[in-house]
């Protein structure tokens, strides 16, 4: 137990004790000092000292004694002291920068959502205009929630494209001016806290594993089924990005021999679908549902391509579960044909489920990444590096 250690760095010992106590507090509701002693295994004097320090930082608050059969109820003498984690001491943001919209979710330090906002944007916006829209939506969310920008502890951001670990978009053809954009550097100018940039499908996989269809499954493929499908993969519960962040870019398979493009796959006229946008695709899918035979054949071609793309990942990773998101999640009866065809293309067919988090799945994944960053700060034992410290300066 941490307070039984002797010698060594006393400040390290204090940080260990603080992390153990804070973790115990953050996992539940208000608890007594006696309960904390039992939960942490630390001595009562140690817990008392740690609690005093956490109260001074604003992360913990003493609350009124609870009633109704709680520990210490009915005993004579000094009443039990109760404490709780102050999740409202800071906030985090999850941001999706999409082709057609900007979505933002605001949460407290426990990950509880306290605000959100959605704004449609034009597909033709250049990078500067799109970033200006992001800043505007952030300001609106914070204003409505009454939260100061200085109160943000971490920001997660999702975007289409291949993103390296520093937050530069190595390839992003879905939005003008996006390829080569140092998105991380640009957004870090707007926040005084860590900013993490990640591919949208990767974040969707993280979100569904956190609160959606993939809870409890550690080997997962999330398919963002759009005009150019992408995928995010979790292996043993951890995101697999690949060496350069390009893992899961199954939309590029037509460059490797599958030469029929989505414009032709979904065509009902014999000519490429033009314009190729979600409205045009939705029309084809609607016609197929209504019984139009040509549209049904076009939809079938598209699903076949999707299955072939997904099968490539399934064969490589052998996931327990494939989660289908994007607009394909709205296809009537999509699960059965996907299951059947994956069984034909793979050695062991995985489970297949529709995404559960809907249109906010990427923003929620970004929120989870921000929450991970917060937990690293809260439960850090080693002192922050100069770089991490400067992010909060």
Instruction: Give the residue ranges of DSSP H helices in 58-118.
Output: none
Tell the residue number behind the tokens 């949460």, with chain if given. Answer: 107
Rama region for 273: left / alpha / beta (φ>0; ψ in -120 to 50; rest) = beta
Q: Whole-angstrom Cα distance, residue 331 to residue 302? A: 12
Q: How confident is the model at residue 389 (pLDDT cuts 50, 70, 90)?
A: very low
Question: Which has the minimum average pLDDT: 184-198, 201-215, 243-257, 271-285?
Answer: 271-285
373, HSE (Cβ side, Cα atoms, 13 Å):
27
At 306, is the secondary structure helix, strand, or coil? helix
Q: Whole-angstrom Cα distance, residue 231 to residue 249? A: 6
How much is the pLDDT for 260?
A: 61
pLDDT digits (tens, 9 = 90+) for 227-268: 678 899 999 999 999 998 889 888 776 655 555 666 666 677
How much is the pLDDT for 273?
A: 65
The number of residues making up the chain comes to: 393
Report the C-alpha dihedral over residues 140, 144, 147, 149, rounded to 10 degrees. 10
Q: Which residue has the higher pLDDT, 271 or 207?
A: 207
CA distances from 111 to 107, 148, 243, 373 (A): 5, 17, 30, 12
How much is the pLDDT for 285?
A: 76
Does pLDDT of 206 surpass 70? yes
Does pLDDT of 393 surpass 90? no
Task: Identify the helix (H) or strand (E) that includes residue 339.
Answer: helix 335-345
Q: What percent of the chain has pLDDT over 90?
A: 56
Question: Which has the minimum average pLDDT: 52-56, 229-233, 299-303?
Answer: 299-303
pLDDT digits (tens, 9 = 90+) for 123-162: 999 999 999 999 999 999 999 999 999 999 999 999 999 9
Q: Hey, what are 201's tokens?
A: 């499908």
Closest listed residue to residue 310, CA positions, set 234, 248, 238, 227: 248
How much is the pLDDT for 73?
A: 46
Instruction: Give me Rg for the CA atoms of the chain.
Output: 25
Average pLDDT over residues 271-288: 71
Measured in Å, how far apart are the chain's first and last C-alpha atoms?
Answer: 33
Does pLDDT of 226 surpass 50? yes
In whole numbers, what is the pLDDT of the chain averaged over residues? 85
State the angle between helix axes of 293-317 and 278-289 in degrees (0 to 180), rounded to the nearest 10. Answer: 110
């Amino acid at each position: 137990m941490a307070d039984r250690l002797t010698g060594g760095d006393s400040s390290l010992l204090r940080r260990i004790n603080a992390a153990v106590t804070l973790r115990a507090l953050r996992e539940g509701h208000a608890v007594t000092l006696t309960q904390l002693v039992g939960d942490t295994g630390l001595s009562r004097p140690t817990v008392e000292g740690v609690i005093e320090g956490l109260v001074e930082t604003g992360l913990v608050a003493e609350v009124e004694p609870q009633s109704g059969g709680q520990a210490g109820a009915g005993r004579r003498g000094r009443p039990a002291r109760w404490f709780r984690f102050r999740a409202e001491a800071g906030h985090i943001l999850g941001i999706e920068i999409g082709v057609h919209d900007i979505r933002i979710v605001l949460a407290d330090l426990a990950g509880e959502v306290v605000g959100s906002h959605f704004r449609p944007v034009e597909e033709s916006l250049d990078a500067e205009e799109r970033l200006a829209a992001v800043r505007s939506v952030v300001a609106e969310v914070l204003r409505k929630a009454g939260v100061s920008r200085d109160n943000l502890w971490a920001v997660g951001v999702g975007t289409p494209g291949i993103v390296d670990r520093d937050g530069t978009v190595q390839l992003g053809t879905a939005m003008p001016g996006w390829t080569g954009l140092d998105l991380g550097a640009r957004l870090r100018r707007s926040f005084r806290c860590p900013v993490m940039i990640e591919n949208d499908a990767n974040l969707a996989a993280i979100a569904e594993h956190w609160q959606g269809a993939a809870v409890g499954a550690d080997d997962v493929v999330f398919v963002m089924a759009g005009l150019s499908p992408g995928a995010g993969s979790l292996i043993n519960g951890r995101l697999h990005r690949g060496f350069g962040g390009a893992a899961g870019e199954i939309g590029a398979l037509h460059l490797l021999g599958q030469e029929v493009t989505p414009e032709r796959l979904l065509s009902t006229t014999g000519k490429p679908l033009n314009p190729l946008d979600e409205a045009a695709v939705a029309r084809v899918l609607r016609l197929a549902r209504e019984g139009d035979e040509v549209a049904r054949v076009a939809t079938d071609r598209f699903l076949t391509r999707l299955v072939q793309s997904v099968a490539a990942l399934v064969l490589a990773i052998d996931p327990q579960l494939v989660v289908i998101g994007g607009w394909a999640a709205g296809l009537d009866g999509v699960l059965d044909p996907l299951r059947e065809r994956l069984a034909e293309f793979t050695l062991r067919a995985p489970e297949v489920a529709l995404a559960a988090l809907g249109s906010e799945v990427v923003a929620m994944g970004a929120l989870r990444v921000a929450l991970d960053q917060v937990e690293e700060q809260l439960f850090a034992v080693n002192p922050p590096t100069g770089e991490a410290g400067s992010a909060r300066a």
